Amino acid sequence: VSDRPHVVIIGGGFAGLYLAKRLKRAAVRVTLIDRRNHHLFQPMLYQVATAALNPSDIASPIRSILRRHEHLDVILGEAVRVDTNARTVHLADGDTVSYDFLAVAPGARHSYFGHPEWESAAPGLKSLEDAVEIRRRVLLAFERAEREPSASARHELLTFVVVGGGPTGVEVAGALAEIRRFALARDFRHIDPREAEVMLLEAGPRILPSYPECLSARAKAELRELGVIVRESSAVTTVHSDAVEVEGGLRIPTTTVVWAAGNQASPLLTTLGAELTRQGRVVVEPDCSIAGHPEVLVLGDAAWHEHGGAPPVPATCPGGIQMGQHAAKAILATIAGKPRTPFRYFNKGQLAVIGRGRAVADLGKLRFSGFFAWLAWALIHIAYLIGFRNRVLVMIQYAWAYVTFAHGARLITGETGEYAARIARGA
């Protein structure tokens, strides 16, 4: 086995995992490196952030997912540098791993457009830790408001601002509007959670800019029905711990901001020596490799693939999955001495959820919204969840929440005293 070609995969997200799965029966040795021990289903993260699901419902240990993969090793470690000449990956703990083929799929983080200092006041939503932290902030804001005697301070605590009107921002804003109206409405004695304000700020002229205009308008109308204040053409200029400032001089007092406005690819990619886009994604060749190094493939959110007159491959789960599956074919073709075929993305369309029974679907010629779009969203997402247990649990929790309007995962974890004191001080 040790003389089989060694395929090293950085990242056990959608691209990395589907590549590893495709190599299960191939005559190669595989090492998958991830800095976390779990594969995370990011599309349902907002439901952890808004207390509808538990972290373990949407994540599975990478080792257990791939345990039947005989010739595969999993390394829990962070890749910090790739030496494409020596064909080695350097880990943060000083170890090195050498490869014959390398697939780099480390995903992306949020970008604060040159203002990293905004992150502490406006966390983004990419990891389980992010989601649990947002959930904590949201629930703590209600707890603080319950004991706050000053009306203006209470209003500040009960104002929730979501920055960025893409699918994530729309999902988070819709879910916040719903929990304040339904799940939390009966839990407090001194405040009425239904009076909380949820605001969605979008810098561009319309929310869901990648969708057809009619669906953007539909999503905006649905959000308004839920009571979300949607502000388009409202670029954020500053984020403070107690307010957000918007272009044109508007200042919105708030202690809870969720950042869903921009992406920046992993810094690891800068070590590949390849051309990068402004967002730090690697400009890849038609087969997803980097120029001059056919043995190095970059996949998923980390890759910028724009070839053959087609639009660039979107940074979505299907984009990552299809690139991962293509990379397996490309590697096996090279091993067999055959030429590689170019990667072609098959666009299945896009779906964005807004709330309970509300979503928009753009499936090519088929565009629709409302309950059936939501049902399509729920079924497709449950089908792609990794792990049978997760699928069953999420399905049961969805059905329960649909009937009762309840959000069962309303736990505040971590230290509450210090953070509560900090929001009280506005620090």
Ligand X SMILES: Cc1cc2nc3c(=O)[nH]c(=O)nc-3n(C[C@H](O)[C@H](O)[C@H](O)COP(=O)(O)OP(=O)(O)OC[C@H]3O[C@@H](n4cnc5c(N)ncnc54)[C@H](O)[C@@H]3O)c2cc1C
# residues near ligand X by CB under 6 A: 34
- For residue 124, what is the DSSP state? B
- Residue with Cβ nearer ligand X (11 or 193): 11
The residue from 262, 312, 318, 349 that contacts ligand X (CB under 6 A) is 318
**Could you give the CA distance from residue 232 to residue 218 in angstroms, rounded to a whole number?**
14
34 contributes a contact to ligand X by CB under 6 A = yes
169 contributes a contact to ligand X by CB under 6 A = no
Asked if 304 and 277 count as a contact pair (C-beta separation under 8 A), the reply is yes
12 contributes a contact to ligand X by CB under 6 A = yes
Nearest CA to 72 out of 15, 132, 153, 17 is that of 17
**Could you give the CA distance from residue 163 to residue 170 in angstroms, rounded to a whole number?**
10
Q: Which stretch binds ligand X (CB under 6 A): 5-13, 96-104, 207-215, 249-257?
A: 5-13
317 contributes a contact to ligand X by CB under 6 A = yes
The residue from 19, 30, 45, 141 that contacts ligand X (CB under 6 A) is 45
Footprint of ligand X on 244-273 (CB under 6 A): 266, 268
- Residue with Cβ nearer ligand X (27 or 375): 375
**Closest approach of ligand X to the CB of residue 144, in Å:** 26
Footprint of ligand X on 110-129 (CB under 6 A): 125-126
Asked if 107 and 13 count as a contact pair (C-beta separation under 8 A), the reply is yes
**Closest approach of ligand X to the CB of residue 145, in Å:** 26
Nearest CA to 244 out of 159, 167, 169 is that of 159
215 contributes a contact to ligand X by CB under 6 A = no
**Could you give the CA distance from residue 345 to residue 288 in angstroms, rounded to a whole number?**
11
**Could you give the CA distance from residue 315 to residue 250 in angstroms, rounded to a whole number?**
32
- In terms of DSSP H, where are the helices of 147-212? 151-157, 167-178
- Residue with Cβ nearer ligand X (31 or 255): 31
- Residue with Cβ nearer ligand X (106 or 355): 106
Residue keyed to tokens 């590689």: 340
**Could you give the CA distance from residue 5 to residue 394 in angstroms, rounded to a whole number?**
39
Q: Which stretch binds ligand X (CB under 6 A): 63-71, 204-212, 309-317, 414-422?
A: 309-317
**Closest approach of ligand X to the CB of residue 33, in Å:** 5
Footprint of ligand X on 320-349 (CB under 6 A): 320
Q: Give Dmax (Cα) for the chain.
A: 74
315 contributes a contact to ligand X by CB under 6 A = yes
Please give the radius of gyration of the chain, using alpha carbons only, rounded to the nearest integer: 22
- In terms of DSSP H, where are the helices of 98-193? 128-146, 151-157, 167-178
Among the options 148, 156, 171, 202, which is catalytic? 171
**Closest approach of ligand X to the CB of residue 335, in Å:** 23
- Residue with Cβ nearer ligand X (301 or 362): 301
Nearest CA to 351 out of 331, 372, 336, 334 is that of 372
The 56-85 contact track toward ligand X, x by CB under 6 A, reads ----------------------xx------
Q: What CA–CA distances, in Å, run from 225 to 219, 229, 259, 274?
A: 10, 10, 23, 47
**Closest approach of ligand X to the CB of residue 253, in Å:** 26
Structure tokens at 84: 């494409």
3-state class of 370 per DSSP? coil
**Closest approach of ligand X to the CB of residue 301, in Å:** 4
Find the residue with minimal CB distance to ligand X: 13
218 contributes a contact to ligand X by CB under 6 A = no
Active site includes 275? no
**Interface positions with ligand X (CB under 6 A):** 10-16, 33-36, 42-43, 45-46, 78-79, 105-107, 125-126, 167-168, 266, 268, 300-302, 315-318, 320
User: Mind telling me the catalytic residues?
Assistant: 171
